[in-house]
Amino acid sequence: MSDFGGRRELVEFLIAQDGGPCDIATTHISIVVLGARFAYKIKRPVRFPYLDFSTPELRFEICQREMTLNRLYAPELYVDVRRITRAYEGRLAFNGPGALVDGVVVMRRFPDDMLFDRMAREDRLTPDMIERLAHRIASFHDVAAPDFLRGGAAALRHSLDRAIEALRQSGLAPEADIAILARRLTEAFESNQTLMESRRQAGAVRLCHGDLSLRNICLYGGTPTPFDCLEFSDDIATIDVLYDLAFLLMDLWRADLAPLANTAFNRYLDMRDETDGLRLLPFFQSFRATIRAHVEASQGHEGMAKDYLTLAHRLLAPPSPRLVAVGGLSGSGKSSLAAALAPRLGVAPGARVLNTDRIRKRMYDSAPTARLPAAAYAREVSEEVYRRLFNAAGETLARGWPVIVDAVFDREPDREEIERLARRLDVPFQGVWLDADFDQRAARVDRRFDDVSDATRDVLALQMEKPIGEIGWRLLDATQDASALASGIS
């Protein structure tokens, strides 16, 4: 067995607690003993500029902090914090009367194949899992109190300088290559620091999870569960909520799961309107990839580190506004086409998708799949839904981000209005109309389960009776596969 940096005695003691074979996971600051029932996490006796674990008392204190913070995200996983003590005769014990040797965080063990990074590699993550995860993250951000003193541009500049220096010391790439990335990151930071500060002053900076990589998320009891938050520094973890989300978006994009990254992005923004901060996402995601590059390099994972470094360059591409309207009668596959198209438009994580069904549900403070009463579809309500759709699209486009509007668009004035919006903002526009007969659309509606749309066969029949007017948009055959249609648009 490895000496584990002088921690071998503690590791052997923890292995004995579980009564069976254990796996060991290590990082530059922690050692985790993974037993059949529990996981035991201890800190390494290290000191860095951003943390101090040099004494047993400090390590026990940070274990207590880790437990308190992580119970906000994963109360089912985190069991206890225990003192490891040494008895008079020299034996180690939990919470004994002897001198404190260390602290340990005790967690319930979950199967390794339930970690999101492994599920990503095995193509087992689903849109539903990511949607529920995005909702949980948004809920965590909702309850976190705004911090008007920490975070913001000054804190990010300090972190950026430190990350670039760590990357240089890693020897991962030639100095000239690192200098190019450093220049591009610095330029992106400087062009956005006023926005960062305005968001801090508006309450967007909060104590967040801080480490939302796929390896720190699991499916526990069927629920997507973030764990192992950044516990050792409130200064480092107190960040813009979009910077917190950016880690997840970046990691999904790195895993070649662009559609899931786009799902996380859109479902989060459905719950929390952070439209004003969209211009920050390229920098935030690139900075996250840069940090992961030097962390992976420090752990000897050169291949992964280089992948992150390459991604950091790619993610700095600036966004460009574009408006695509997807129309068609209910059941024609508009949402499927919008979801297939969105990751292909613009930079990571793709276009903002605005859907009238979701807007209507939020107006009534209902869950996306809850069925609304007939009154929610009265003419005046629908007019308000479209008004909100146009406003949200305009605000997003004004921030330079591509938008897909997903709506029936069976009224000619609504089609004209969305085209006028694009002309007014001087952004490229494309309107597409999904064409399908009644039987095809009815079959799709019949197959829906827990869907955001409330359309029924009766609704479809009523739509057929209404005059639609001339469709000047590009007609698409709705019987074709959504991905194939999307490839012809993007």
First to last CA, the chain: 54
Q: Mean pLDDT of all residues in the chain?
A: 92
- Burial tier of 169 (Cβ tally within 10 Å: 0-12, 13-18, 19+): exposed
Buried b (16+ CB within 10 A) or exposed e, 418-435: bbebbeeeebebebbbbe
Q: Where are the domains of the chain?
A: 8-109, 116-314, 323-489
The CA angle 22-27-30, to the nearest 5 degrees, is 75
Reported confidence tier of residue 280, pLDDT bands at 50, 70, 90: very high
pLDDT at position 450, please?
74
Rounded to an integer, what distance in angstroms lies between the CA atom of residue 16 and that of residue 224?
31
Give the span between the Cα atoms of 457 and 447, in whole angstroms. 12
How high is the pLDDT of residue 242?
98
Q: Which residues of 91-120 are buried (b: 16+ CB within 10 A; e: fewer)?
A: ebeeebebeebbbbbbbebbeeebbbbbbb
Question: Confidence band (pLDDT; 50, 70, 90) for 7?
Answer: confident
pLDDT in tens, 60-69: 999 999 999 9
Contact 309, 303 (CB under 8 A): no
% of residues, the chain, pLDDT over 70:
96
Residue 217: band (very low, low, confident or very high) from pLDDT cuts 50, 70, 90: very high
Residue in 68, 63, 15 with CA at minimum distance from that of residue 42: 63
**Per-residue pLDDT at 1 exceeds 60:** no
**CA–CA separation, 322 and 334 (whole Å):** 18
pLDDT of residue 301: 87
Averaged pLDDT for residues 223-243? 94
- CA separation for the pair 58, 47 (Å, rounded): 11
Dig out the tokens for 278 from the structure. 């969209």
Residue 31 has pLDDT above 70, yes or no: yes
Q: Which pTM value belongs to this model?
A: 0.93
- 11 class by beta-carbon count within 10 Å (0-12 exposed, 13-18 middle, 19+ buried): buried
343, 258 contact by CB (below 8 A): yes
Q: Tell me the three state secondary structure of residue 370.
A: coil
Measure the CA–CA gap between 70 and 334, rounded to whole angstroms: 39
Report whether 350 contacts 343 (CB < 8 A): yes
pLDDT in tens, 259-276: 999 999 999 999 999 999
- 353 near 339, Cβ under 8 Å? yes
Helix (H) or strand (E) segment spanning residue 457: helix 457-465
What is the band of 213 on the pLDDT scale with cuts at 50, 70, 90?
very high
* CB within 8 Å of 397: residues ≥ 6 apart: 321, 323, 403, 421, 422, 425, 427
DSSP strands (E only) in 418-473: 429-435
Q: Are strands 474-477 and 429-435 parallel, antiparallel or unpaired?
A: parallel
Q: What is the pLDDT of residues 439-451, one digit of tens each?
A: 677 667 767 777 7
DSSP state of 230: -
pLDDT at position 460 is 66
96 φ/ψ angles, rounded to the nearest 5 degrees: -80, 180
Q: Are 331 and 441 in contact (CB under 8 A)?
A: yes
**pLDDT tens figures, 386-398:** 999 999 999 999 9
Q: Is the pLDDT of residue 3 over 70?
A: no
Q: Which CATH number does 116-314 carry?
A: 3.90.1200.10
Structure tokens at 111: 């199967």
Tell me how far CA of residue 362 lies from CA of 304, 366, 388, in angstroms. 41, 6, 11
Alpha-carbon 364 to chain mean position: 26
More confident residue, 53 or 20: 53
Burial (0-12, 13-18, 19+ Cβ within 10 Å), 334: buried
pLDDT above 90 for 465? no
Q: Give the pLDDT mean for 187-206.
A: 96
User: In percent, how much of the chain has pLDDT > 90?
Assistant: 71
Question: Residue for token digits 């599920």?
Answer: 119
pLDDT band at 458 (very low <50, low <70, confident <90, very high): low
Distance of alpha carbon 330 from alpha carbon 377, whole angstroms: 14
pLDDT score, position 461: 66
- In Å, how far from its chain's centre is CA 49? 28
Nearest to 198, CA basis, from 149, 138, 153: 153
Read off the pLDDT band of 2 (50, 70, 90).
low
Coil, helix or strand for 125? coil
Residue 268 near residue 276 (C-beta atoms within 8 A): no
> pLDDT tens, 360-384?
999 999 989 888 888 988 899 999 9
CA angle 14, 20, 22 (to 5 degrees): 60
pLDDT for the residue 329: 83
Which neighbouring-strand residues pair with 81? 105
Measured CA to CA, the distance from residue 135 to residue 267 in angstroms comes to 7
Looking at CATH, the fold of the domain delimited by 323-489 is given as Rossmann fold (3.40.50)
What's the rounded Cα separation, in Å, for the pair 489 and 482?
Answer: 11
Instruction: Give the pLDDT band (50/70/90) at residue 57.
Output: very high
313-351 pLDDT, tens digit per residue, is 999 999 999 999 999 887 778 999 999 999 999 999 999
What does the alpha-carbon distance between residue 453 and residue 368 come to, in Å, rounded to a whole number? 8
